[in-house]
Amino acid sequence: MMEWAKTKECATEFMAGVAEITVAFGKGCRDIVKQSLVNEDSYIVKKLGRDSYIGKKLRAHFSRLSFFNRYLPEDKDPLHAWSVIFLVSLLSFLALHVNFESDPYAPVVKQVFVHPPSATRIVLPDGRYIAYKEQGVSFHRARFSVIVPHSFLSSRLAGIPGVKESLLEEFGIRLLTYDLPGFGESDPHPKRNLESSAKDLAFLADALGVNKFWVVGYSSGSMHAWAALRYIPDRLAGAAMFAPMVNPYDPIMTKEERRRTWNKWTRKRKFMYFLARRFPRLLALFYQRSFLSGKHGQIDRWLSLSLGRRDKALMEDPVYEEFWQRDVEESIRQRNSRPFVQEAALQVTDWGFSLSDLKLQKRKQSWLKSMFTETQEYTGFLGPIHIWQGMDDKVVPPSMTDFVHRVLPGAAVHKLPYEGHFTYIYFCHECHRQIFTTIFGTPQGPHSISVEVDQTTLETNIEQQEVVNDGDYAQN
């Protein structure tokens, strides 16, 4: 009992000493400022001093909180008291932040493992390498070709998460996914935009012998699908979107659509969008402290996401956790923040086109041409667009899909009650079957005979790429 009393007394004396030292430090800073800047002839004193208009207003507000002064030693001036309170609060916040990083009760943080290079790569016309992954049936047996640009903090390994090879075989699907520039094993592009993204997609299709294909866009990966619809529409058989991201600053959004969208996001996420739009280089600091730090964390914290109940339950599933960790490890293998900054800035800056440009509409013709031809020309995308939207999605709110449907009324929207951002597309076999049935119809399996393609030229291209890849990795 006596030992406890002594400990309590020592702790009290220690806290009192800390308070006195803090006050003395504050006074010292105040004296330095007074001697250097705050003299009677300075601009600050004239505009903000005790006898100025602003000074009188501030002191009137501070005087209401003067009862806090009795908790501080010696200094009874409200302005001085509040400066000390602010300083102590700041120091306490920093101390708590440091302690949180080393909290023994915090979830175990896993180290990121850098895997050996494993991707097949092709060379683009500008000399860059692009890495891709192939699933499903072979090119000469494919009834449908599907290409998937991945979302933020993801890689070619994502594709359609958890899709079964047997299902791809049943529908005769050749599924291709690739790393965006600077992600995974693809070389970075110093000045990429959405038009260059569409061109990369077209070059990949050419190199792999794909003529017409479906493009699948999920979350932020949808903006690359929108770009394909805009810049290479003749290459697309159709588009399938899942919780499609659009530019939240799009000028053709109504005030109500913008309000319903922004109200679903956390303050931190809104701030990140603001930085991405106005000061994108500052995002590198946030990324270096989170997913580029070399340690695994939680996706909702890293990306400032607000998740629904079903999304949170999915994230706790060991299968999803293993998949997520491997995908992130591949995404950040180059440890370069610039591609991520580029991707974030692309989401919220001018895309170079509007979604209204994709709307099917008649092309205006001169009166002279209309006299000699009865054929009507159209602009926009002629093929089908399917959109799946979880109604409990807080990452890409349903208001975004409502906006898309207003601008593109021809798009088929499939609203999913109780589904979140991840739950419908991640590891849901029945969901995948429903999706394929919707866009491809009754499964007919792969082609039993080769379709008419220049197979010799294609095999030669692939062999040349393999030789280049082997030589490239040997140099590394």
Please report where in the chains the tokens 């400032």 appear, as a residue.
304
Please report the pLDDT score of residue 467 as a whole number. Answer: 47
Contact by Cβ (8 Å): 399, 383: no
User: Which candidate, 107, 112, 101, places its Cα nearest to that of 291?
Assistant: 112
Give the mean pLDDT of the chain: 82
Please report the pLDDT score of residue 116 as a whole number. Answer: 87
Please report where in the chains the tokens 């592009």 appear, as a residue.
189
- Rounded average pLDDT over 30-57: 61
Give residue 476's pLDDT band: very low, low, confident or very high (50, 70, 90).
very low
User: Which candidate, 152, 150, 175, 180, places its Cα nearest to that of 165?
Assistant: 175
* Residue that wins the pLDDT comparison between 388 and 38: 388
Phi and psi torsions of 351, nearest 5°: -80, -15
Give residue 23's pLDDT band: very low, low, confident or very high (50, 70, 90).
low
What is the tens place of the pLDDT at every residue in 228-287?
999 999 999 999 999 999 999 999 999 999 999 999 998 889 999 999 999 998 999 889
Give residue 106's pLDDT band: very low, low, confident or very high (50, 70, 90).
very low
Taken in order of first residue, the domains within the chain and their CATH numbers are 2-101 (no CATH), 120-360+378-448 (3.40.50.1820)
- Phi-psi map region of 326: left, alpha, beta (phi>0 left; psi -120 to 50 alpha): alpha
Give residue 40's pLDDT band: very low, low, confident or very high (50, 70, 90).
low
Helix (H) or strand (E) holding 30: helix 2-36
Contact by Cβ (8 Å): 226, 196: no
Angle between helix axes 78-101 and 2-36 (nearest 10 degrees) is 120
Q: Which residues sit opposite 362 in a β-bridge?
A: 378
What is the tens place of the pLDDT at every residue in 283-339?
998 898 888 988 887 787 777 788 888 999 998 899 999 999 999 999 999 999 999
Please report the pLDDT score of residue 260 as a whole number. Answer: 95
The span from the CA of 386 to the CA of 169, in Å, is 22
3-state helix, strand, coil in the chain (%, to 5): 50, 10, 40
What is the tens place of the pLDDT at every residue in 159-196?
999 999 999 999 999 999 999 999 999 999 999 999 99
Please report the pLDDT score of residue 105 as a whole number. Answer: 41
What is the tens place of the pLDDT at every residue in 141-154?
999 999 999 999 99
> Pairing state of beta strands 144-149 and 385-390?
unpaired
* Residue that wins the pLDDT comparison between 32 and 124: 124
Give residue 78's pLDDT band: very low, low, confident or very high (50, 70, 90).
low
The span from the CA of 215 to the CA of 387, in Å, is 12
- Rounded average pLDDT over 110-119: 82
Percent of all residues in the chain with a pLDDT value above 90, rounded to a whole number:
57
Helix (H) or strand (E) holding 216: strand 213-218
**Six-digit token string for 194:** 């959405």
Is pLDDT above 70 for 107? no
* Residue that wins the pLDDT comparison between 256 and 466: 256
Q: Which of 28-32, 70-74, 273-277, 415-419 has the lowest mean pLDDT?
A: 70-74
Please report the pLDDT score of residue 277 as a whole number. Answer: 94
Residues ≥6 apart with Cβ < 8 Å to 132 = 119, 120, 121, 122, 156, 176, 177, 178, 179, 204, 208
What is the tens place of the pLDDT at every residue in 378-413?
677 889 999 999 999 999 999 999 999 999 999 999
- Rounded average pLDDT over 441-456: 72
Is pLDDT above 80 for 369? no
Q: Which residues sit opposite 87 in a β-bridge?
A: none
CB neighbours of residue 245 within 10 Å: 21
CB neighbours of residue 240 within 10 Å: 26
- Rounded average pLDDT over 13-23: 62
